[in-house]
């Protein structure tokens, strides 16, 4: 793949993944085609893991964009000590962590949408939320409209860190223990311990819903994208 490859050949470039050493060399050389391949290949997986580690999944798009900006600016410093995939996920989780810290510092300054902002024409109290009428579902709501998936996603966000991150990386993203340890810069024993505690927390939070579903099995459907916690490690 050459830097001067025509845009019309981009589909062919994306369809066949090049050797990692080659793609890294082209990224360092500033190849637009190489960055297009990188974004098309990793945007959705990185967005997914970021969304699941943030308190507000609506922030995931901005954080994902920040990740690729960081990659663009710092690819020259990538020397292959880890795989490109591991490096990308490490940056993604670092940026997600920064966003969580920012949120914890600023959320106390925010005004709830339940706050009154005046009165309606009928003389009734008018809340901020009443002025934000939107007839359409958000992208996240459309993706998670199935009841079971919504319940699992909500329960997953209640799992405390750092157990939630390990749970997402292992049970949803499918990383090996060794890869997770490398991404989080910790040892495999710690990864397994966090995973066990994360699964236990998620299972406990899903228990009431599971019991209700057992009584009315026809009222629920299987989740399309999020798996329930596994019992084995």
Residue 76, pLDDT score: 92
| pTM assigned to the model | 0.58
Which H/E stretch holds residue 116? Answer: strand 116-119
d(CA 185, CA 149) in angstroms, rounded, equals 31
- With a pLDDT cut of 70, the percent of the chain lying above it is 64
Q: 82 to each of 76, 94, 118, 136, 175, how far by Cα in Å?
A: 14, 16, 56, 43, 14
Neighbours of 5 (CB within 10 A): 15
What CATH fold (topology level) applies to the domain 138-233? Arc Repressor Mutant, subunit A (1.10.10)
Domains in the chain: boundaries: 10-107, 138-233
The predicted structure's pLDDT at residue 4:
41
Common-topology check for domains 10-107 and 138-233: no
Say whether the peptide bond before residue 56 is cis (omega within 30 degrees of 0).
Answer: no
> Tell me, what's the pLDDT at 221?
44
When mean pLDDT is compared across 12-21, 91-100, 146-155, 200-209, the lowest value belongs to 12-21
> Per CATH, which fold does 10-107 belong to?
Rna Polymerase Sigma Factor; Chain: A (1.10.1740)
In the chain, the percentage of residues whose pLDDT exceeds 90 is 45
Taking each continuous run of H as one helix and of E as one strand, the counts in the chain are 10, 2
């Amino acid at each position: 793949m050459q830097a001067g490859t025509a845009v019309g050949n981009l589909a062919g470039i994306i369809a066949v993944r090049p050797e990692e050493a080659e793609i890294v060399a082209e990224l360092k050389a500033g190849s637009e085609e190489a960055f297009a391949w990188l974004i098309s290949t990793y945007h959705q997986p990185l967005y997914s893991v970021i969304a699941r580690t943030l308190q507000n999944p609506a922030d995931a798009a901005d954080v994902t964009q920040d990740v690729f900006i960081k990659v663009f600016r710092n690819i020259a410093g990538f020397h292959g000590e880890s795989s490109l995939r591991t490096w990308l996920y490490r940056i993604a989780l670092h940026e997600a962590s920064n966003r969580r810290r920012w949120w914890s510092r600023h959320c106390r300054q925010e005004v709830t949408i339940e706050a009154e902002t005046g009165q309606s024409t009928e003389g009734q109290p008018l809340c901020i939320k009443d002025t934000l009428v939107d007839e359409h579902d958000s992208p996240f709501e459309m993706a998670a409209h199935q009841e079971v998936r919504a319940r699992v996603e909500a329960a997953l966000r209640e799992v405390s860190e750092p157990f939630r991150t390990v749970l997402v990386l292992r049970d949803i993203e499918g990383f090996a223990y060794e890869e997770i340890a490398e991404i989080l810069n910790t040892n495999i024993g710690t990864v397994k311990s966090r995973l066990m505690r994360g699964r236990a927390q998620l299972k406990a939070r899903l228990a009431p819903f599971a019991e209700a579903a057992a009584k009315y099995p026809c009222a629920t459907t299987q989740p399309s994208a999020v798996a329930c916690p596994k019992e084995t490690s």
